Structure 1
Amino acid sequence: MKKASTAKFPLQLGIIKPNSAGIDVGSMNMMVAYPGADGIQQVQEFDAYTDDLHALADHLQQVGVHYVAMEATGSYWLTVYDVLTTRGFEVTVANPTHYKNVDAQKTDVNDSQWLQQLHAHGLLRSSHIAEEQYRELRAYIHQRNIKQSQKSDTLNRIQKVLTEMNIKVQHIISDIEGVTGMMIIERISTGITDPAALLAGVKINQLKASKEDLERSLVGLYKPYQITLLKNHLADYHYYKSKMLEFEKEITDLLTRLVPPHAGSVAKKEKATKVRKNQYHYNIKEYLHKIVGVDLTEIDGLEENTVLTIISVTGLNMKKWPTAGHFTSWLNLAARPKISGGKVIGYQKRITNNTATQAFRMAAQTMFKNKGQLGQLYRRLSATKGSKKAIKAVARRLAVIFYNMVSKQTKYDPKMVVLDEEKIRERKLARLNREVAKLGGKVVFANN
């Protein structure tokens, strides 16, 4: 029998932040709970108009509140957060899934009181919120992605109209969105139906298809209303493409402001090489290198689009996560074991919509053809544990490298991901010995 611990603990939780308030944020009103002068919790309701937000800040300053806690509900918390932080309050935005009120006792008043009590005892964990400029960058990237999705949907509608006209050129040309494909579609939308006229000026020798196949693919049933539909879809396509470019310019302007003065300026110019579909026209890589201080695109799988997406979510202040383990746990890329009786009985399954997590996982998916160490790790894990676990493991490794490079300002070193071949060999031998031991034998290796 083990000896009982003699450590003494208070029966009540101590108050760590006595001057704290809890806010239940709604679309049109807010319930605010805070400690009164007599030590009794007070609850007051405020409207959600802008002048009411400033009145709320004034009131909290008058009653001596410094710490404020609220839950991240939709987008309503954003304006409250901005007003309170600019007024000097230390604001904690808590994830609603991280705390629970008493069952069947959920009201706006109770929620604000519960938030205030938890925050006063120091039991709330703040969600990660990037600095303002990175939130702006994230908004631009999100809107560009929306326009890209709308452009892709419109391109599908264009191909549907071509199919209804029994035109097969979209199956003959590998990329209908390329220069040749769009030139032919533009001519069809103007009413040209003759295959020879549609192919005039087209560099057929650069295509895999023959001239005869191209001409046959353009013999269709050209109906006036279908040409009208095609013309309108094409106008929508160019509109969304122009909007993508507009947001891209906004992103580039913001990146220009994010470049530190000591890093030097970056010339805003378009790429000299041909831009791949949906890629940025400007040299984002150079901006990222000067902003971050190291070239993160040297990491296998992390292209400039991926890095841009990740830093728009995380920012560059890695001190918010004490270690790489904390960073990967926040990304939901680290295993969370369930331990009972000193034994691991399973692992928690969590779902996250974190954009940075999705970016790391997408980068990990590209490793199946990679010839480097990360590619070897992916293929080995995929063969033994399945592709899902392989993607998560490689994504975690990428996140660790990202964290170390940004926090320590070190250049990418392939040795960071070198697999420990000796440990792998030992695990294989141990597994082989266990299998042979079940059969009553023993593995003996001959010395070379």
Structure 2
Amino acid sequence: MKIVFPTCCGVDVHKTFVVATIITTPADSLQPHYQKKRFSTFNSDLNRFADWLLEHNCLDVCMESTGKYWIPVFNILDRRGIQAVIANPKWVKAVKGNKDDAKDSKWIGDLFRLGLVKSSFIPELDIRILRELTRYRYKLTSMKSSEKNRFQNAFTVCNVALDSVVSDMFGVSATAITDYLASDESFSPDHCVSLLKRSLKKKADLVLESIEGFSIAPEQKERIKIIREHHNFIESLITKVDACVNTMVEKYDSQIDLLCTIPGIERNSAITIISEIGVNMGQFTSSKRLCCWAGLAPGSNESAGKKKSVRISRAGVYLKPILVQVAHAAVKDKNNPYYALKYERIAKRRGKKRAIIAIARMILTAIYSMFSTGELWNPADLYKIDMPEHLKEQQLAKAIKQATRFLEKQGLSVT
């Protein structure tokens, strides 16, 4: 096989140490020369590792993406001008029963030397920082939802069925009633009715019926107050994260506005998408490669002439959910029915779940094209891409043939 990197290094990364193997292949020989060394993951030792690489004129390094442990190593090498390739563990996994740290680093280096390792997508530093913030916001939002569920369950176990009457347990009227029930005061139906606002006043009898016969112990009241305080605290944290994110994305306002022209995408969704894929599409060779990286492409799994499961991969843990959410909003957009029509056609043949994944992939393909060309979202252009001229002619001929056959069955002659 052709040697792509005559001088390279394979690194096996762990939490407290790394094992590196420099592989040098002389020009007049195919027999490589190996040099192994072990370093700790403290910054001083990682800088010594970079000095060792530069001393041997090794500017290409490959390591597997082991949790978060590869990031400190990558940061040091990137600052020192050394090209670091982060490989998916499934592409560099060694055979079980004949592996250790030194052998793993040698195996990674051998594969990389022959060009058999695919590089993972690593965005620039500011996008990586933005990604950390948006992912943290996602976690905080999940925690907020969990606290809402705990708050509602706390009243359910106390025989308060208020959630069956009101649409939102955190609305103005519902909040006033729950705060009143969780207080130490005695219950007064008249006071409870006075807390209702607007349309909920019409349901006063139903609200009292859902509360009647409740029993909340002092300890349960204290737990409800703690849950409420924690929920409010998480909301304040989300507000702080949003302020930090908005400061960071000021330089991406033009790209955000560009994404917001796509049906279903609003500002928060656009920021999340940019934090995951960046704005430079040159790092992806094509839209198909981007969709595969995002986990929106079917797999290829065939052996002995038999096709096995080709379901989408588990990639895109944060990107795929937001694209599916955008797809659901896009197919409900009445002002731009392009994706709604596509969804209906695919859902009839393949089902709703596959159809929504297909719409998410179409949206990601459109994002790739828009970031590459700078053009606004235009359904007319998408129709041209989806239906080339020769396919339009075939579809028209087929439609005419079917119409002619139908008229002849009705006893009419077609000239």
Q: Which SS does the other structure have where 2:236 is aligned? A: helix
CA distance in 2, matches of 1:335, 1:230: 46
- Mark the CA change 1:393 to 1:365 in structure 2 (over 3 Å): closer, same or farther: same
1:194 to 178, 188, 194: 188
Comparing 364-373 and 157-166, the one that deviates more: 364-373
Is 1:318 matched up with 2:281?
yes
Pairwise CA RMSD = 3.1
Return the letter of the residue paired with 2:350.
K
Within a 5 Å distance, the mapping from 1:14-413 to structure 2 comes to: 14-35=2-23, 40-192=33-185, 193-203=187-197, 205-207=198-200, 209-219=202-212, 220-256=214-250, 259=251, 289-290=253-254, 292=255, 294-337=257-300, 345=307, 348-354=310-316, 355-371=318-334, 372-413=337-378
- Mark the CA change 1:303 to 1:445 in structure 2 (over 3 Å): closer, same or farther: farther
Offset of residue 226 of structure 1:
2.1
TM-score (norm. length: structure 2): 0.85
Pairs aligned (count): 395
CA distance in 2, matches of 1:190, 1:130: 51
CA distance in 2, matches of 1:368, 1:179: 32
Comparing 104-113 and 191-200, the one that deviates more: 191-200
- Mark the CA change 1:179 to 1:353 in structure 2 (over 3 Å): closer, same or farther: farther
Q: Which runs of 5+ in 2 are unaligned?
A: 27-31, 403-408
> Identity across aligned pairs (percent)?
25
Offset of residue 43 of structure 1:
1.0
Offset of residue 294 of structure 1:
4.6
Offset of residue 209 of structure 1:
4.5
Return the letter of the residue paired with 1:375.
A
Q: Which runs of 5+ in 1 are unaligned?
A: 1-12, 260-287, 435-441
CA distance in 1, matches of 2:76, 2:128: 16
CA distance in 2, matches of 1:92, 1:48: 18
CA distance in 1, matches of 2:372, 2:412: 45
CA distance in 2, matches of 1:446, 1:108: 81
- Mark the CA change 1:228 to 1:446 in structure 2 (over 3 Å): closer, same or farther: farther
Counterpart contact for 2:158–2:215, Cα < 8 Å: yes
Offset of residue 86 of structure 1:
0.6
Offset of residue 334 of structure 1:
3.0
Offset of residue 244 of structure 1:
1.4
TM-score (norm. length: structure 1): 0.79
Counterpart contact for 1:24–1:30, Cα < 8 Å: yes
Decide which structure has greater helix share.
Answer: 2
Q: Which SS does the other structure have where 1:21 is aligned? A: strand
Offset of residue 447 of structure 1:
3.6
CA distance in 2, matches of 1:347, 1:404: 30
